[in-house]
């Protein structure tokens, strides 16, 4: 696996300074965010010149852009904001070839009107599921036209809050342009962390063959997504990494949830675990 990082972990005044910090920390790939180039995460407009600058800055540092963040609430109750974000996603997808990146990361959304990472009771309704599928069909068309893959992350606070729902979504969409972003710290509902190996087994049984990108962070308690740096919480990392290998994943492992100060410890932890898994 190739060790990478959320580029926005490193706050710098320039995109070159940002990527210098990424490389100096020992990473070989990024999950990039256009905010690192002074833009919104999904900008309304992106110039070809900026794309070339970002692409060349990666190449000059021998960094691969493994994915780019395109995250927004795809079932946002604010319809005007939703349509604006859908348009911006199409813009982002349209420049992926120029950026030399083939994966856009997304979330499956929530009914919460203010925070796309906060659970809402209406997430479990048939109407929410219908809206996710409708939104994803639009996104599939965008992805197919741009020849990119979109990665959806099962996350306890979103509508696709389990591997079973992720499998259902993949099957309903039936598109090779939709894959899974796997984060072992995001799949534990209340009461499940003490049986984490069984939960992880079930997760990989459902979607282990469809992983396009893996995340590396940690979790301190169940019923919420993990927010801790890898190695500082309760996730059984040898088991998690072993499952990734068992299911044939040998792609980018992207760390996040850590501060810049935690990066050296996080890199050391992950290298040790990867060497022994």
Residues 70, 150: contact at Cβ < 8 Å? yes
Give the tens place of pLDDT for each residue, 196-236: 999 999 999 999 999 999 999 999 988 777 789 999 999 99
- Domain boundary assignment for the chain: 2-276
pLDDT of residue 116: 65
Collapse the DSSP code of 206 into the 3-class scheme (helix H, G, I; strand E, B; otherwise coil) and give the result: helix
* Closest C-alpha to 108, from 117, 96, 121: 117
Q: Hey, what are 240's tokens?
A: 């998690």
Residue 227 to residues 117, 185, 232, 263, Cα–Cα distance (Å): 11, 8, 10, 14
The CA angle 48-52-53, to the nearest 5 degrees, is 115
Q: Which residues contact 62 (CB under 8 A, 6 or more apart)?
A: 23, 28
How many angstroms separate the first and last alpha carbons of the chain?
Answer: 11
Residue-level pLDDT at 1: 94
Low-confidence ranges of the chain (pLDDT < 70): 116-117, 120
- For the chain, what is the largest distance between any 2 Cα atoms, rounded to a whole number of angstroms? 50
Architecture per CATH, domain 2-276, reads as Alpha-Beta Barrel (3.20)
CB 163 within 8 A of CB 127: no
């Amino acid at each position: 696996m190739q060790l990478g990082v959320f580029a926005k972990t490193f706050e710098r005044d320039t995109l070159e300074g940002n990527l210098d910090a990424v490389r100096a920390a020992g990473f070989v790939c990024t999950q990039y965010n256009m905010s690192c180039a002074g833009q919104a995460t999904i900008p309304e407009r992106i110039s070809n010149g900026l794309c070339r600058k970002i692409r060349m800055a990666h190449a000059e540092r021998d960094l691969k852009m493994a994915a780019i963040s395109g995250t927004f609430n795809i079932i946002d109750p604010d319809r005007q904001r939703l349509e604006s974000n859908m348009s911006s996603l199409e813009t982002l997808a349209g420049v992926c070839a120029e950026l030399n990146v083939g994966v856009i990361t997304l979330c499956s959304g929530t009914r919460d009107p203010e925070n796309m990472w906060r659970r809402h009771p209406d997430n479990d309704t048939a109407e929410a599921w219908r809206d996710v599928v409708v939104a994803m069909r639009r996104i599939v068309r965008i992805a197919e036209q741009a020849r990119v893959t979109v990665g959806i992350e099962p996350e306890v606070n979103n509508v696709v809050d389990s591997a079973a729902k992720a499998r259902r979504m993949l099957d309903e969409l039936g598109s090779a342009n939709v894959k899974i972003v796997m984060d072992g710290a995001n799949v534990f509902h209340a009461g499940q962390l003490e049986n984490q190996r069984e939960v992880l087994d079930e997760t990989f049984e459902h979607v282990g063959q469809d992983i396009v990108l893996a995340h590396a962070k940690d979790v301190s308690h169940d019923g919420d997504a993990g927010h801790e740096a890898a190695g500082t919480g309760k996730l059984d990392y040898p088991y998690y990494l072993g499952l990734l290998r068992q299911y044939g994943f040998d792609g980018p492992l992207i760390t996040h949830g850590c501060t810049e100060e935690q990066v050296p410890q996080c890199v050391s932890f992950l290298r040790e675990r990867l060497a022994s898994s």
